[in-house]
Structure 1
Amino acid sequence: MQIRDLPYSDPGDPDVRSGPRFLYWLGRNQLTGQLKSLSWGLMHQCAIAGLPLVVGLAVQAVIDGSRRGLAQAGALILVLGILIAVGDTMLHRTAVTNWITAAARVQQLLARKTAELGSALTRRVAAGEVVAVSTGDVEKIGWFVEALSRFAAAATALVLICVGLVLYLPSLGVLVAIAMPVLALTVLPLLPRATRRADIQREKAGKATELASDTVAGLRVLRGIGGEELFLGRYRRASQEVREAAVGSARMWALISAIQVFLPGVLLISLVWYGAALARDGRIDVGQLVTVYSAATLMLFPLRHFEEIAMAYSFSRPSAQRAVRVLSLERSTRPSTIDAMVPEGDLYDPVTGLFAARGQFTAVVCGDPDEAGRLAERLGGHAEAETGAETAPGTGPDVGKDPAAGAGTTTDDGKRTAPAPLPSVLLGGVPLDELPLDSARTAVLVQDKDPVLLSGTLRELLDVPSSGAVSPGDALDAAQCGDVLDALAQASLDTGGDPMRTRITERGRSLSGGQRQRLALARSLVTDPEALVLDEPTSAVDSHTEARVAAGIRRLRRGRTTVAFASSPLLLDLADRVVLVHGGTVVAAGAHRDLLRDEPLYRAVVTRETDDDIAASAAQDELVGADASPSAEAIEEFEERA
């Protein structure tokens, strides 16, 4: 795989059982690149290892006065120099290619998982952790993959050099061969502690990143309540904890580096002292001493790759573990068993009993906004998957969820298992969870209450996969975006006043909340899905605009299934059918005005009545009878309740 061939047509199916298994899977998929890097690394290391022998021959030729031997040694040094240059260049090229392609593979896997889970991702994994995985962690993982082949080449070169020295000069070669494994393995007892400190540093850095991300996202709210200093103090403390953890980790690596400098120095001193004694006694030649000493000196360079691979692994392992936590999330426990198709028909949720007839505009009223959001996600086939894996007590996917999701079971050893998966939402009798992801997304589109606008021009924003039946102009008109178009035209500097060519800033920050909401609604209307689910589509606009937007949705979606979660009487009055959901179950359904008259709970949600208002209304209904006048006791009781 070359950089020019990126992105991958298919990044593969990763092994997400653990961080080390994921690293192994990643390295195995980079096998061709690893072998190339290993080959060039061996050429580079072996060429370097050949220099001491040639230098020794040159020294001996000078001592013997052999011009021919000196010339041959010079020619060999030239050849080795060329091999070293070519090998080092190609090793760097292939190693960096391995780094970039491995990082790109991980990024594609993360992007694919993000697209698969949608908005459910940030409810199951903190947004800061996702940011940390897709930025810094990807680089750490790529570093380990890149360093692996260079370490393998260095280790192979060390073995070859030790064997060669033993065969060349056993009296000194044995000393070097015994010392090298000791030098390479001396720091092993320190690696677990260094790894733990690196893990702590990465964990604290991830929490600090998450805190910074949350603070930036809520900066406007923090300024409104005067909480900037509070959160700034929290981030300062978090950053100091990261600094202290980084210093502790750096101390361990400094100790490891010091050991790997001190012990080779002791080896070289011992080698020179013992070799000089042998040369003085005439048991070895001066050239042989120079050869062995030069070889031992150059062996310190590949030894440093042992430190690098240990450091790369200690940093990449927690990064890989975080990547695994994201990549192991599943959209559903039920695999796709139905061929790609876009079903048509009624939308039905067997869990709550919510029924939205095909071609009708159905409004859903929930007293709990969180319950409305969860139900909207379920209608889109985005319900969170339950894995059924054993978890520690008090943790796991079933903790903190809606009681309707199931309570799970407890095993004899105190561990909890996730509850059975909930029944899937049906569209035309077809379970959405069993459809391929693309088909499910095409059939049902869910717009969150806080939709995100990507940066780009307005034309690019509305250039989304669609049926083609709804034009961008019709969608903008239905969403009442006339004032938004005027604002974009005035903000346009180099597009000739064309709002469709005006760039929208990141997340639409240059627009008001109502403008962003209406542009997002227009984008959803352009797609023209079989079923459209809108969560509070008019919560950020005034009442006059809200009435026109509701009428535009009804007009443009005529003949298509539309479900809107709302509590505004203006929108509810235009719906073909209104459904009241309470406690995770449909408790009433009908026309808005009928429910407003006959259902106290519905009236309380829509009119924002308090408990005191409900009690007073009930008392008044009790007082005013059809055939009798209220008694004095009834009037007194009503006054007390009121």
Structure 2
Amino acid sequence: MQIRDLPYADPGRPDVRSGPLFLLWLGRRQLGGQVRAMLWGTLHMASVALFPLAVGMAVQAVIDGSQARLAAAGALMLLLGALTALGDTMLHRAAVTNWILVAARVQQLLARKTAELGSALTRRVAAGEVVAVSTGDVEKIGWFVESLSRFASAAFTTVVVCAALVVHQPALGTVVAVGVPVLALAVLPLLPPAAERADEQREKAGRATELASDTVAGLRVLRGIGGEELFLSRYRQASQEVRQAAVRSARMWALIAAVQVVLPGLLLIAVVWYGVTLAQDGRIGMGELVTVYGVVTFLLFPLRQFEEIAMAYSFSRPSAQRAARVLGLERTASAADADGPVPALKGDLYDPASGLLAPAGRLTAVVCGDPDAAGRLAERLGGHAADAPAGTPSVLLGGVALDEVPLDAARAAVLVQDKDPVLLSGTLAELLDVPSSGDVTAEAALAAAQCEDVLVSLARASADSAGDPARARITERGRSLSGGQRQRLALARSLVTDPEALVLDEPTSAVDSHTEARIADGVRTLRQGRTTVVFSSSPLLLDRADRVAFLRDGRVTATGTHGELLRADPVYRAVVTRRTDEEPDIRLAKPDEREPAEESA
């Protein structure tokens, strides 16, 4: 496969049992590219290795006064030079191609896994780790795969050269053949501490990245409460910790590099000293001594490839482990990808685990005192809660288990909007250009979500929209908008989709009461005949719901209208009105039950 053929039609199913097995799987998937790079690398290194032979022939020809052999040596130098240039160029081309292809494969795998898990991904893996895997870790994995072919060609060439030296000059060849493996293995004891320091640096860098992301995302709030200096000081401290860890890691790798310079230098000195002794005794000629010296000098080049592959593996192993951990996350469904016709997904939405029932075509409000439990239940209603405990029964839509249908079909039938929806950068028209039934227009959805002031604000803020709100640009994550404006635009986007069942988690938490009341009326009217579930404790929304379900400890304990539950359930009343049981509720108490002070008032 070539770069022009990207993206992959199918990136494959990776082996995610461990980081090394994931690297091995990537290498097998690019076996053809690795072989091509290794062949070009062998041509390049063999040409470099043979160059000392041509130099030795030229030196001996000058000593012997043979012009023919001198001319032959010059021609051989030109040929080897051309082959060296060709091999080096094609090796670089093949190696970079391998790097790009493996990086593209890993990124496609991560994108596919992200789409499969949805918002459950960031609840199971820290946001900083997700960013590290999709950026720096992909680069390090590509580095290892790219350097693997160069290492293979260097190892092959080294073995052949050492064997040729032993055959051609047994005395010097034996010294070189014994010394080179010792040099290659000398750095192995230093690799574990170097890898530990590199892991520490990456861990601290991941935490710093996560802290920076959280600070930028909440910068508007931090400025409002004067807390930006506190978070900036925390980031400075985290940044200094990353710097110190990087310095400690660099010192270890500098020590490894120094060992790779000192030991080969000692070998070179030993070979030259022994070779001069042999030349003085007349056992070898000067041309042979020059050849052996040049070959030993060449062997220092493959040793650098050994150092690079050791560094690449030390860096890529934890990166591959993190990537394998993310790619190994699975959706709870066991038969979601089964082939066959998809049953009709219409009817009541029911969760056996909590006992929540949302009748078809009705607006159901859910009150839950624990916001985290409400978020988990909202995700489970969508049929794609990847972090649900094992053995949790599937949510049913019209009697059909959502875990038993393909993920795309489940998400098309049930749309879940969490309490912190994300707005991607682009124009308003692009934001609302989502898969939909076509029955709800963008204008109707914006009106139901009470976005009139948002449209005016966008049209004024965008200089290139010519007064058309649809062409106004929204910045990344909608940070140029207020929290209420972002929330209403996200609600309009969900309404445009017009799914069979719509689940909204706190859709009006960032708006004022008057806007909230109008949104409740707009959603109720627009979603007439469709199943809608709203997680909220706002009386304005609860009063407009056809049915209210109250959850305690993960189970539905009471159902009815908002007024019925207020009168019948004191715990529900405490959650909704934010009152304790000891506080009197003047609106609900009967005249003869009020305290004397209230009656006299």
Counterpart CA distance in 1 for 2:263 and 2:510 is: 69
1:265 corresponds to: 265
1:549 to 2:519 alignment: yes
1:271 to 1:312, Cα distance in 2 relative to 1, 3 A: same
1:483 to 2:453 alignment: yes
| Match 2:470 to one of 500, 509, 512 | 500
Deviations 1:52-102 (A, max 9, x none): 111111111222222221111111111111111111111111111111211
1:233 to 2:203 alignment: no
1:350 to 1:617, Cα distance in 2 relative to 1, 3 A: same
CA contact (8 A) 1:125 1:326 kept: yes
Deviations 1:442-471 (A, max 9, x none): 111000111110000111111111122222
Counterpart CA distance in 2 for 1:193 and 1:165 is: 36
1:362 corresponds to: 364
1:473 corresponds to: 443
Counterpart CA distance in 2 for 1:541 and 1:259 is: 65
Counterpart CA distance in 2 for 1:187 and 1:432 is: 55
* Residues 137-156 of structure 1 aligned to structure 2 (within 5 Å): 137-156=137-156
* Residues 22-171 of structure 1 aligned to structure 2 (within 5 Å): 22-171=22-171
Unmatched 5+ stretches in structure 1: 387-404, 406-419
1:616 to 1:504, Cα distance in 2 relative to 1, 3 A: closer
Letter in 2 for 1:44: H
Shift of residue 198, structure 1, vs aligned partner: 1.6
* Residues 165-184 of structure 1 aligned to structure 2 (within 5 Å): 165-184=165-184
CA contact (8 A) 2:570 2:581 kept: no
CA contact (8 A) 1:454 1:461 kept: yes
DSSP-derived class of the 2:10 partner: coil
Counterpart CA distance in 2 for 1:585 and 1:331 is: 23
1:411 corresponds to: none
| Match 1:433 to one of 385, 400, 403 | 403
1:614 to 1:145, Cα distance in 2 relative to 1, 3 A: farther
Shift of residue 273, structure 1, vs aligned partner: 1.4
Q: Which moved more, 1:333-342 or 1:534-543?
A: 333-342
Shift of residue 580, structure 1, vs aligned partner: 1.6
Counterpart CA distance in 1 for 2:231 and 2:577 is: 37
DSSP-derived class of the 1:423 partner: coil
| Match 2:413 to one of 433, 443, 460 | 443
Q: Which moved more, 1:504-513 or 1:203-212?
A: 203-212
1:352 to 2:354 alignment: yes
1:245 to 2:245 alignment: yes
* Residues 294-309 of structure 1 aligned to structure 2 (within 5 Å): 294-309=294-309
1:580 to 1:44, Cα distance in 2 relative to 1, 3 A: same
Counterpart CA distance in 1 for 2:575 and 2:273 is: 92
Letter in 1 for 2:481: L
Shift of residue 338, structure 1, vs aligned partner: 6.7
CA contact (8 A) 1:339 1:435 kept: no
CA contact (8 A) 2:120 2:387 kept: no
Letter in 2 for 1:510: S
DSSP-derived class of the 2:583 partner: helix
Letter in 2 for 1:67: Q
Q: Which moved more, 1:101-110 or 1:34-43?
A: 101-110
Shift of residue 616, structure 1, vs aligned partner: 8.8
Deviations 1:270-297 (A, max 9, x none): 1111111212222111111111110110
1:211 corresponds to: 211
Shift of residue 232, structure 1, vs aligned partner: 3.0
DSSP-derived class of the 1:121 partner: helix
Unmatched 5+ stretches in structure 2: none
Deviations 1:365-421 (A, max 9, x none): 2222222212111111132346xxxxxxxxxxxxxxxxxx5xxxxxxxxxxxxxx42
Shift of residue 127, structure 1, vs aligned partner: 0.8
Q: Which moved more, 1:502-511 or 1:6-15?
A: 6-15
1:374 to 2:376 alignment: yes
Counterpart CA distance in 2 for 1:254 and 1:560 is: 66
CA contact (8 A) 2:102 2:142 kept: yes
Counterpart CA distance in 1 for 2:84 and 2:374 is: 66
Letter in 2 for 1:98: N
Shift of residue 573, structure 1, vs aligned partner: 2.3
The two structures, once aligned, show a CA RMSD in angstroms of 2.1
1:385 to 1:484, Cα distance in 2 relative to 1, 3 A: closer
- Percent sequence identity over matched residues? 72
Shift of residue 340, structure 1, vs aligned partner: 5.5
CA contact (8 A) 1:103 1:142 kept: yes
DSSP-derived class of the 2:366 partner: strand
Counterpart CA distance in 1 for 2:449 and 2:241 is: 49
CA contact (8 A) 2:268 2:297 kept: yes
DSSP-derived class of the 1:102 partner: helix
1:390 corresponds to: none
1:562 to 1:340, Cα distance in 2 relative to 1, 3 A: farther
Counterpart CA distance in 2 for 1:178 and 1:143 is: 30
DSSP-derived class of the 1:355 partner: strand
Counterpart CA distance in 1 for 2:387 and 2:507 is: 27
2:565 corresponds to: 595
DSSP-derived class of the 1:101 partner: helix
Shift of residue 156, structure 1, vs aligned partner: 0.7
Letter in 2 for 1:490: R
Q: Which moved more, 1:592-601 or 1:66-75?
A: 592-601
Counterpart CA distance in 2 for 1:568 and 1:228 is: 31
2:583 corresponds to: 613
DSSP-derived class of the 2:582 partner: helix
Counterpart CA distance in 1 for 2:361 and 2:20 is: 51
1:560 corresponds to: 530
1:283 corresponds to: 283
DSSP-derived class of the 2:548 partner: strand
CA contact (8 A) 2:124 2:387 kept: no
Letter in 2 for 1:384: A
1:249 to 1:197, Cα distance in 2 relative to 1, 3 A: same
Counterpart CA distance in 2 for 1:574 and 1:245 is: 57
Counterpart CA distance in 2 for 1:549 and 1:220 is: 25
Deviations 1:609-639 (A, max 9, x none): 2333259999x66x948xxxx9xxxx79x99
Counterpart CA distance in 1 for 2:422 and 2:314 is: 37
What is the aligned length?
596
CA contact (8 A) 2:459 2:467 kept: yes
TM-score, with normalisation over the residues of structure 1? 0.89
Counterpart CA distance in 2 for 1:538 and 1:215 is: 24
CA contact (8 A) 1:60 1:287 kept: yes
DSSP-derived class of the 1:15 partner: coil
Counterpart CA distance in 2 for 1:90 and 1:164 is: 26
Shift of residue 333, structure 1, vs aligned partner: 5.3
1:526 to 2:471 alignment: no
Deviations 1:582-606 (A, max 9, x none): 2211122122222233332333222
Letter in 2 for 1:383: A
DSSP-derived class of the 1:559 partner: coil
1:517 corresponds to: 487
Q: Which moved more, 1:337-346 or 1:131-140?
A: 337-346
* Residues 315-326 of structure 1 aligned to structure 2 (within 5 Å): 315-326=315-326
Counterpart CA distance in 2 for 1:273 and 1:548 is: 93
DSSP-derived class of the 1:611 partner: coil
DSSP-derived class of the 1:299 partner: helix
DSSP-derived class of the 2:231 partner: helix
CA contact (8 A) 1:340 1:435 kept: no
Counterpart CA distance in 1 for 2:462 and 2:239 is: 41
CA contact (8 A) 1:578 1:592 kept: yes
Deviations 1:230-265 (A, max 9, x none): 333333332232222222222221121111111111
CA contact (8 A) 2:364 2:548 kept: yes
TM-score, with normalisation over the residues of structure 2? 0.95
CA contact (8 A) 1:338 1:434 kept: no
